Amino acid sequence: MVVRVVRSLRSGTPVARSGLAALLPVAGTAVVLAVLPPIWFGRSTYTTGLAIITLVFASYAVGFNVIFGSTSQLFLCVGALAGIGGYATALFSDSASLPVFVGVLLGTLIAAIVGGVLSWIAVRRSLGVIFTGILTLVFSLAFQNLLLGQRQLTGGSTGHELKAAATTLADDRVGGYYLFAALVVIFLIVFRLIQTSHVGWAFRALRDDETAAELTGIDVSRYRVYAAVVGSAMIGLTGGLYAYSDGFINPTTFAFNQIDVLVLVMVVFGGLGSLLGPLLGAGVFEAVDQLLSSSGQIREFLYGLMIVALFLGFRRGLVPALGRLARRPVVPASPLQPRTDDGPAVPSAT
Amino acid sequence: MIPLLEVDDLTKHFGGLPAVHGVTFGIDDGEIVAVVGPNGAGKSTLLKLIAGLERPTRGSIRLRDEPVGGLPAHQVRRKGITMVMQTPRTFPSLTVLENAMLGAMFGPAHGVIDEREARRRAAESLAFVGLEALADLPVETLNLHQQRFLDLAKALAGRPQLLLLDEVMAGLNETEIRASVEIVRRVRDKLGTTVLWVEHVMSAVIELAERVIVLDFGSVLTEGAPDVVMRDSRVIEAYLGEAQIA
Amino acid sequence: MKAVLLDGIVLGLGFGLLGVGLTLVYGLGGVLNLAYGELAVLGAMVVSLVKDAGAPLALAAVAGVAAAMAAAVLLDLTVMRPVYRQSGEHRVLLGLLVTLGVAFLIEGLLNWRDPLGALTVDIGGGPIGIFGVPMPMSSIWASAITLGAGAILVVFLGATTFGRAIRSVMQDEVGARLVGISPSFTRTVIFALSGALAGLVAVTSAMSSPLTVTQGFDLTSFALIVTVVGGLGSVTGAFLAGLLLGIVDTLSAYYVGQYITSVVLLGAAGLTILIRPRGLLGR
């Protein structure tokens, strides 16, 4: 069962709060992100650049978290979906001479459709985690090769310089920072609203036990596709805005081992399905990356070591682990005597 | 009057092997009907077919004259048929109340119920089965008996017309069986929910069922009042055959 | 045309062997070893080191295969243990993530030691005519080694007691334990076998074109495509799919171009998942 897989890899308690109170953590995050440049790194173009990268990855990670963290669909095509957004932005605005924002919107739309179709296929064919993973990985690699192969259109491995790029953002890194900070905050609001709506309830149910969810009246397939569409749109939008703000993209920008691996690590590290996990995961990852940057060539090796240690040791993610420390469960006395042992719930038949 | 549930010539083959073969019966509103039979007679498959967890090879299932056979499980649920399985299908990462809330939220026919109302219905339904004191506990802390009751509360919170029970008394002790019989009776008496119930615990069947359908080798062997059916020589033979094999 | 076809068969044999190594491990409890290609590259780099130290080619090749084998065994005895303690899809997912980490680890290590490392195995000797087509000596050697290894593998799995034990573990872990076969020991043997195959493919593929440090991920994805098309867990299927895809690859590369060829191969894997998820010969 997908259920048990993801259950042990993800955060514990669901969110039952609703209304404005539910958005408090997002508001807090927004404030922190807003004040970081003036009180910390606003003067350093280099550090601001790193902060932008962190936010871009956090945006991808939130999108991936919607798809994988919420509904257990292992989408190994985050980079490809972002690439769809990025290249669509570039091609529609440069080659088709449409306004940039139209290009970004079209890119977002196409990414959403592609993600939805992939999910629909996986749902219709009842592909489990592994086959969904392989299917989306195959799509990623095929997309990468298409980008490389269609030179006249994409510029191949030389890449594409966006004529319509945001020159102001390239000069003024802080502007870029706030663009992506706003994006992350918007994504987190969307994520929170989903979490607290009935869709969020359906996600929690189907992630726990698909059959039980179906028996409860939840259309598991529909909610899966829904999550894939929303998450893919987030990823596509991020890719498009990245292309717009950076001004240069090439196939490597969106390659599997440049995006997917990192996003996976960030989200699992932060805690699958948790609200702030992806942002925290991205932050910690980039910080570690900076620490390792002085180690030069051995960096990739250390990454590998980190990934292995992380998955074997911190399987439930950082945020949930901290959460568990903070609230020890209190078990009240009960008339029907809840079990206290850890044995299986099903006794032998009479 | 139209029966609540009509099953006609229901057949399910697994790779050529018939698990359920040409089963036909009807259930009226407010009945408690038990399905019994030796192991492998197709009882659980029958319930799964009705609940939408399996697709029939042939035959029809109608709820108040509306076809529900072959619909996916979630749609069958929203038509008013709910099922409690032998292994309780609860949501382990949620609390007891949240489990029941999901039932209240997504179960009813006319779209999703909002959270406040779902919470109210869930609490009501937990109180009905006597789990209200455990509402905020994680499901993992419940024993099997309690988990089955929770599964029942989850099912009832969606206000079903027909409740399917699949061997829900297996593995329980005497006291727990008595409590379960009592609760099923109250479900019908107080809520008016019709019950179709697969069971191996014969004492419970004789005490509770108003009508018994006996399945053997995937087909209906006989049906009727519990005391009559249990004296039927063919039924005894079917069970004896099983006892000898065992 | 005939020459292209023969080239395709040579390439396909290599693909097949590559796929078999991955599928053996997958058959064993559903773990997809994403570090598989890196094992091959590791083997290749050892061959290159030993060769450069002045050892004869055959010895270097044996050392490389042994190194890949040892690395696979090490993998099994260390990080894979906790993975196999899990069950069901939890194991599948954890296996995927952990081997991905290991892939980075090995690639990082090799990149750090020797970022420009590449293995070229020069066989020498003039081409030999086969069906009227002059085939280079290297292709003949590579095919012969691959066919030999394939034959040994088939005999080992099909006709020896231990081979049958392996296949029984692949089919039913619990059942195998009941009849006295140790799944963990069998697993170690399969990892060793898989590693050896990776090393062997590294050597044979280096006979026709250089194998570089950065090719690990490509090898893994090729193996993955072959296994998916052949049917995850099916040894014969992997061979068959390898042969088929090798021919498709060569024909397509000859007539259409390399990037489109990759898309075609990936498309084949994608279509297999859509139309027949069990693959050509999967269970």
Quote the minimal CA–CA distance from A304 to chain C in Å.
4
Domain assignment present for residue A138? The answer is yes
- pLDDT band at residue A19 under the 50/70/90 scheme: low
Mean pLDDT of C233-245: 89
Quote the minimal CA–CA distance from C243 to chain A in Å.
20
Report whether B180 contacts B168 (CB < 8 A).
yes
- Digits of tens for pLDDT over chain B (246 positions)? 789 999 999 999 988 788 999 999 999 999 999 999 888 888 999 999 999 999 999 999 999 999 999 999 999 999 999 999 988 999 988 999 999 999 999 998 877 888 999 999 999 999 999 999 999 999 989 998 899 999 999 999 999 999 999 999 988 899 999 999 999 999 999 999 999 999 988 889 989 999 999 999 889 988 988 888 888 888 888 776 665 544
Domain assignment present for residue B166? The answer is no
Quote the minimal CA–CA distance from C103 to chain A in Å.
7
Instruction: Give the CA distances from residue B17 to residues B12, B57, C40, C132, in Å, rounded to whole numbers and listed in that order.
Output: 8, 11, 47, 56
- Residue contact C101–A257, C-beta within 8 A: no
Mean pLDDT (chain C, rounded):
86
B202 touches chain A (CB under 8 A): no
Mean pLDDT of A185-195: 96
Could you give the CA distance from residue A68 to residue A129 in angstroms, rounded to a whole number?
10
> In chain C, what are the domain boundaries?
2-115+136-275
Neighbours of chain B (3+ CB pairs under 8 A): A
Quote the minimal CA–CA distance from A33 to chain C in Å.
31
- Residue contact C93–A302, C-beta within 8 A: no
Quote the minimal CA–CA distance from C241 to chain A in Å.
16
Instruction: Please give the tally of structural domains in chain A.
Output: 1
Domain assignment present for residue A27? The answer is no
Q: Residue B227: what pLDDT?
A: 85
Domain assignment present for residue A46? The answer is yes
Q: Residue B4: what pLDDT?
A: 94
Domain assignment present for residue B113? The answer is yes
A175 touches chain B (CB under 8 A): no
Q: How many residues does chain B have?
A: 246
Q: Residue A13: what pLDDT?
A: 43
Amino acid code (one letter) for C16: G
Mean pLDDT of C151-178: 77
Q: Residue A17: what pLDDT?
A: 54
A323 touches chain B (CB under 8 A): no
- Residue contact A261–C100, C-beta within 8 A: yes
Instruction: Please give the tally of structural domains in chain B.
Output: 1
Q: Residue A119: what pLDDT?
A: 97
Does residue C62 carry a pLDDT above 80?
yes
CATH number at residue A293: 1.10.3470
Report whether B33 contacts B7 (CB < 8 A).
no
> Given A129, A310, A315, which is nearest C92 (Cβ)?
A129
Q: Residue C10: what pLDDT?
A: 87
Q: Residue C283: what pLDDT?
A: 55
Chain A residues in contact with B142 by the CB 8 A cut-off are 336, 338-339, 345
> CATH for C2-115+136-275?
1.10.3470
- Residue contact B74–A329, C-beta within 8 A: no
Q: Residue B193: what pLDDT?
A: 95
- Residue contact A149–C94, C-beta within 8 A: no
Domain assignment present for residue A345? The answer is no
Report whether C169 contacts C29 (CB < 8 A).
no
Domain assignment present for residue A14? The answer is no
Domain assignment present for residue A145? The answer is yes
A133 touches chain C (CB under 8 A): yes
* β-pair partners for B223: B213
What is the extent of the structural domain holding B99?
Answer: 92-155
Q: Residue A322: what pLDDT?
A: 57
- pLDDT band at residue A343 under the 50/70/90 scheme: very low
- pLDDT band at residue A330 under the 50/70/90 scheme: very low
Query: What residue in C sits closest to A265 (Cα-Cα)?
Result: C97
CB count in 10 Å sphere of residue A330? 7
Q: Residue C173: what pLDDT?
A: 67
Chain A residues in contact with C34 by the CB 8 A cut-off are none
Long-range contacts (CB closer than 8 Å, 24 or more residues apart) made by C153-156: C153/C20, C153/C193, C153/C197, C153/C235, C154/C235
Domain assignment present for residue A6? The answer is no
A-C Cβ pairs (cutoff 8 Å, strict): 136
Query: What residue in A sits closest to B129 (Cα-Cα)?
Result: A336
On the CB side of A240, CA atoms within 13 Å amount to 28
Interface-testing mutation among C22, C86, C93, C252, with chain A (most A C-beta atoms within 10 A): C93
Weakest mean pLDDT among A93-97, A323-327, B197-201, C11-15: A323-327
What is the extent of the structural domain holding A102?
Answer: 33-326
Quote the minimal CA–CA distance from B129 to chain A in Å.
11
